[in-house]
DNA sequence: ATGAAAGCGCTAACAC
DNA sequence: GTGTTAGCGCTTTCAT
């Protein structure tokens, strides 16, 4: 194993100089810099992560807590993860993967053993059990998602309430009077996951303002439950002409189910969705984009800013952007 | 921060004794053990990961390289990841997440800076560029997937060749004479991903043995390409009565597309798939299970065994298990 | 602008 | 069965 002393010897400088060349924490003459870099290249030197962490109290690792629960749409989850990983690497950070099922113990372990400099926690619930611990932790933390009380926490997410409202308002502007929400899977509501609850709130608020009837129905991502959902929705409201879909896994089945009830999209039923742009494009859906890349990227940036001692906004809510596509048309 | 010296003082023993209690590398009297554990509990002690890694040359971290490429079915990928993470935690290992796009540099970085004790690499191609490096690495490595030449490597995967053969033989045993393969996305073949190639080989070998006509067609997971695939397949072989599907993302569209051509499953067309069991169950598909959990778990076990200096089998091929469900019936 | 040296917290000889 | 001590490889004072 090649160590810093080897590089120092090879470049004819002190070990500390090599360290300073690498960290940039001290001005070094261009000649020495060049010599050191050259030696590093020739010898293939990499600093020992443990030794560095021990001496500097910095691991250059971000711990990312991901949910592994029913109802979480996996491709969307992975979009967050890859965005976080990519942005982290840009700043020379690595990702330590923690799973939700370790719960608070995992957080304590990471902090206790100095495994990471900062935590990013996904899939936050309105009344998340982990919040008291997270508030008490000395390790800076960024939440992707908003709990009921985000006080004292750093949170970032799409403004799901505004997103729900935007969906409803789009349908309202097209003249639709009776609208249904095909919601997330049951489990997501039962857990009180923040984004699901907020979408509902946003839609209901907007519906009230516009005098529109709104009926909501959770839905699991399988053809049978989609069929049931459509039957229930149309059974209670045969005059329903608009649907808001907040569930990435049901669209294909939904369109087919509607057809079995004689409704074609968009002629007899308009659909506005909330989900990733590529997904909406693939299905030609008018949709509010779920900007997983941006959220993940900004979560890392908030984390790094906190590490730099900058003070960061406690709440970052991204404004919804609705893109009209082929799944909506004016009500007749 | 509470350190080992604090625990030692609190328990009235030497720091090394605390270390030995934790590692079990030396016999310690029950009384001392109890006292030390009690002190650890009271003080909330966790060993500093960096310090431990520096002194012991063990990080207790497994680096997992995941693919982020077109054509990879994300839910299946995540099944591997979660299985690996869960098994790793059972043995008190953590997961460092590396993405494919870092390529060889990522592997060198992990080894160079002693970030992990062992590597697990997913999505191996037949002629994978990383193989020379992996062979040369002193860090033990486990591959999930088989390259063309697995010599000198530790690999584990489902026996995809046997899986392909099992699919074909199931259809053959039901009397089907003309069979199509709805394959993985184009990109998967273009890259020469091991499992896709091997399935093909397995099917073709079995087809030859059984005198069955087999036509293959890659397929992207969107309704339009599925439609094209079905049109091509049926256009060239109107007598086709069996389909092997090696593509988790197309089933729903496939069934609908077949219907537009007047074929119902299983009455006019039998389908045998390769994919995760829950997925096959959800779609009521006769299928060879893709045991992502078992593969992930065993990959970790192979990795840990290598760390223990045990010598492990170079190649672990899991035998395919085909479960008949509702998507196949005898040819009429 | 550079060097020398003192730790960072832990493990693993080496003692007894 | 337990204590003492010498590093592990790096960063960061302190010194020049």
pLDDT of res. A299: 98
Q: Is the CB of A239 under 7 A from strand C?
A: no
Burial class (CB in 10 A: 0-12, 13-18, 19+), B285: buried
- The angle, 0 to 180 degrees and rounded to 10, between the axes of the packed helices A4-11 and A15-23 is 100
Residue percentage of chain A with pLDDT more than 70: 100
Average pLDDT of the segment spanning B180-192 = 95
**Which residues of chain A have a CB within 8 Å of the CB of B109?**
46
- Is B96 an 8 Å CB contact of chain A? yes
Q: Would you say domain B4-56 falls under CATH 1.10.260.40? A: yes
Q: Which tokens is A327 given?
A: 């799944």
pLDDT band, residue B30 (cuts 50/70/90): very high
- Give the Cα-Cα-Cα angle B5, A52, B44 (nearest 5 degrees): 35
Residue A199: the pLDDT is 97
| A143-180 per-position pLDDT tens digit | 999 999 999 999 999 999 999 999 999 999 999 999 99
Give the nearest partner residue to B109 out of A46, A52, A222, using CB atoms.
A46
Residues of chain B with CATH 1.10.260.40: 4-56
> What mean pLDDT comes out for the span B193-200?
93
Q: Is B50 in Cβ contact with A49 (below 8 Å)?
A: yes
Q: How far apart are CA A108 and CA A45, in angstroms?
A: 33
B50 touches chain A (CB under 8 A): yes
Tens digits of per-residue pLDDT, A57-89? 999 999 999 998 888 999 999 999 999 999 999
pLDDT at A286: 98
Q: Nearest-CA residue to the C1' of C3?
A: A14
* Average pLDDT score over residue span B170-176: 97
Task: Note the CA–C1' distance, A8 to D10, in angstroms.
Answer: 13
pLDDT digits (tens, 9 = 90+) for A2-45: 999 999 999 999 999 999 999 999 999 999 999 999 999 999 99
Partner residue facing A59 (CB), from B50, B52, B102: B50
pLDDT exceeds 90 at position A332: no
| b (16+ CB within 10 A) / e for B296-315 | bbbbbbbbbbbbeeeebeee
Provide mean pLDDT across the span B128-142.
96
What is the least distance, in Å, from the CA of B61 to any CA of chain A?
9
Interface check for B99 against chain A (CB to CB < 8 A): the answer is: yes
User: Model confidence over B88-122: pLDDT tens digits?
Assistant: 999 999 999 999 999 999 999 999 999 999 999 99
Element of type H or E holding B257: helix B251-260
Nearest to B54 among A54, A78, A86 (CB): A54
B18-CA/D1-C1' distance, Å: 13
Average pLDDT over residues B294-312: 96
- Do residues A32 and A17 make contact, with C-beta atoms less than 8 angstroms apart? yes
The hierarchical CATH code for the domain A160-290 is: 3.40.50.2300
Closest by CA to A321, choosing from A270, A275, A283, A268, is A275
Q: Look at B53 and A49 and tell me if their CB atoms are within 8 Å.
A: yes
Q: Is the CB of A14 under 7 A from strand C?
A: yes
Residue B192 confidence (pLDDT): 87
Condensed to tens digits (0 to 9), the pLDDT of residues B240-284 reads: 999 999 999 999 999 999 999 999 999 999 999 999 999 999 999
What does the pLDDT look like over B155-166, one tens digit per residue? 999 999 999 999
User: Could you tell me the pLDDT band of residue A192, with boundaries at 50, 70 and 90?
Assistant: confident
Q: The domain at A61-158+292-318 falls in which architecture?
A: 3-Layer(aba) Sandwich (3.40)
Are A92 and A58 contacting, i.e. CB atoms less than 8 angstroms apart?
no
Binary contact (B223, A47; C-beta < 8 A)? no
Half-sphere exposure of B103 (CA within 13 A, CB side): 4
Q: What is the model's pTM? A: 0.96
Distance B53 CA to D9 C1' (A): 11
Separation of A236 CA and D3 C1' (Å): 79
Which residues of A are less than 8 Å from B278 in CB distance? none
**Residues of chain A contacting residue B59, judged by C-beta atoms under 8 Å apart:** 49-50
CB-CB neighbors (< 8 A) of A96 in chain B: 61, 94-97
Q: What is the average per-residue pLDDT within A256-283?
A: 96
**Best B1, B6, B49, B133 residue to mutate vs chain A (most A CBs within 10 Å):** B49
Calpha distance B270→B286 (Å, rounded): 9
Rounded to whole angstroms, how far apart are CA atoms B3 and B25? 20
Question: What one-character-per-residue DSSP string does B129-143 give?
Answer: TTHHHHHH-SS-EEE
Interface of A with B in 205-224 (CB under 8 A): 222-223
Of B78 and B69, the structure prediction assigns the larger pLDDT to B78
| pLDDT value of residue B332 | 80
Q: What is the pLDDT of residue A74?
A: 95
């Amino acid at each position: 194993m090649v160590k810093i002393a080897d590089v120092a010897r090879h470049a004819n400088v002190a070990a500390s100089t090599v360290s300073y060349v690498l960290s940039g924490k001290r001005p070094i003459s261009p000649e020495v810099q060049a010599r050191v870099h050259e030696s590093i290249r020739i010898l293939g030197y990499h600093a020992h992560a443990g030794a560095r962490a021990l001496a500097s109290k910095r691991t250059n690792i971000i711990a990312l807590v991901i949910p592994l629960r029913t109802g979480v749409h996996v491709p969307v989850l992975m979009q967050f993860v890859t965005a976080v990983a990519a942005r982290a690497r840009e700043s020379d950070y690595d990702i330590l993967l923690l799973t939700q099922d370790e719960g608070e113990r995992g957080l304590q372990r990471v902090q206790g053993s100095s495994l990471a400099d900062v935590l990013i926690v996904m899939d936050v619930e309105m009344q998340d059990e982990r919040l008291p611990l997270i508030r008490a932790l000395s390790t800076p933390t960024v939440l992707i998602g908003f709990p009921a009380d985000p006080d004292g926490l750093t949170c970032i997410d799409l403004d799901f309430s505004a997103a729900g409202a935007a969906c409803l308002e789009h349908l309202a502007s097209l003249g639709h009077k009776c609208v249904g929400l095909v919601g997330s899977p049951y489990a997501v509501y039962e857990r009180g996951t923040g984004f699901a609850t907020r979408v509902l709130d946003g839609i209901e608020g907007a519906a009230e303002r516009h005098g529109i009837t709104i009926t909501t129905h959770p839905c699991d991502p399988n053809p049978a439950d989609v069929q049931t959902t459509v039957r229930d929705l149309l059974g209670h409201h045969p005059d329903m002409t608009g649907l808001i879909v907040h569930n990435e896994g049901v669209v294909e089945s939904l369109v087919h189910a509607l057809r079995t009830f004689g409704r074609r999209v968009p002629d007899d039923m308009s659909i506005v969705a909330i989900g990733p742009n590529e997904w909406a494009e693939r299905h030609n859906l008018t949709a509010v984009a779920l900007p997983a890349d941006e959220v993940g990227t900004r979560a890392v940036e908030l984390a790094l800013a906190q590490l730099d001692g900058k003070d960061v906004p406690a709440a970052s809510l991204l404004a919804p952007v609705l893109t009209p596509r082929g799944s909506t048309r004016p009500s007749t």
